[in-house]
Amino acid sequence: MPEPPPILHQDDRLIVLDKPTGLLSVPGIGPEKADCLASRVAAAHPGARIVHRLDRDTSGVIVMAFDAEAHRELSRQFQDRETEKTYHALVAGHPEEDGGEIDLPIRKDLDNPPCQMVDHVHGKPSQTRWQVTSRGEVGDLDDTLAGVDADPHLPIARVQLKPRTGRSHQLRMHLKEIGHVILGDDLYAGDPWVSATNRLCLHASILWFVHPGNGAPMTFRSAPPF
């Protein structure tokens, strides 16, 4: 069994990890998708339970619980939107505005799984606050991140994202809908943006929650690797 990702914090009730890109949070369908964060952590800590998920290709901070009570309380905090999450991403183009809020309801795209879609009738409410932190070009990126054949003059921006809700693919869908797909997104970005980088440039940078045992506020950070 491969080793778990880097540990940011561990106590008798929970563990916080820095998930790498390319690793599922939970097992997928089929033996080739059995390896995941949950199984790696459970191998070292039997009984460890996933509280929330990050997409396979999203990296960053994720918390797991060691017991049923901690799992219930942490899950409640996520469900009741009492946690605070901050992501960073590289997106296509230069947004005309420096920030704003995206408020678009999302549901599963039944004709194109696992994609999501905007649906103003049947979609679930979904809100994301976004802020541009810098603008540049693909040529500004590290050679290990930029795609081999990427145009170095493609305009890109770094953005900070604060989701108010936690829908599947919310950040990826919302950024697509405002015309600024996330670089390397193999579901929502077409060429030249999907091949501009060799990974999905979305990272869970900050997670804030209250400890399920002692009630202490806890903040964990992971610097974006791009």
CATH code (residue 192): 3.30.2350.10
Q: How far is CA 44 from CA 64, 88, 163, in A?
A: 13, 30, 31
Whether 1 maps to a domain, the answer reads no
Q: How far is CA 206 from CA 41, 68, 168, 172, 209, in A?
A: 21, 24, 18, 18, 10
Give the angle 103-135-105 at the CA atoms, nearest 5°. 10
- Residue 10 pLDDT > 80, yes or no? yes
Contact (Cβ atoms closer than 8 angstroms) between residue 152 and residue 199: no
Q: Give me the number of domains the chain comprises.
A: 1
For residues 9-27, give the mean pLDDT.
Answer: 97
Whether 51 maps to a domain, the answer reads yes
Whether 196 maps to a domain, the answer reads yes
pLDDT of residue 1: 67
Whether 226 maps to a domain, the answer reads no
- Residue 101 pLDDT > 90, yes or no? yes
pLDDT in tens, 167-225: 999 999 999 999 999 999 999 999 999 999 999 999 999 999 999 999 999 999 999 99
pLDDT of residue 3: 78
pLDDT in tens, 113-148: 999 999 999 999 999 999 999 999 999 999 999 999
Whether 214 maps to a domain, the answer reads yes
Whether 160 maps to a domain, the answer reads yes
Whether 109 maps to a domain, the answer reads yes
Whether 29 maps to a domain, the answer reads yes
Tell me how far the alpha carbon of residue 198 is from its chain's centroid.
16
Other C-beta atoms lying within 10 Å of the C-beta of residue 56: 18
Which residues are catalytically annotated? 55
CA atoms within 13 A on the CB side of 99: 12
DSSP string, 140-176: GS-TTTB-TT--TT-EEEEEEEEESS--TTHHHHHHH
Which pTM does this prediction carry?
0.95
Domain span at residue 37?
7-221
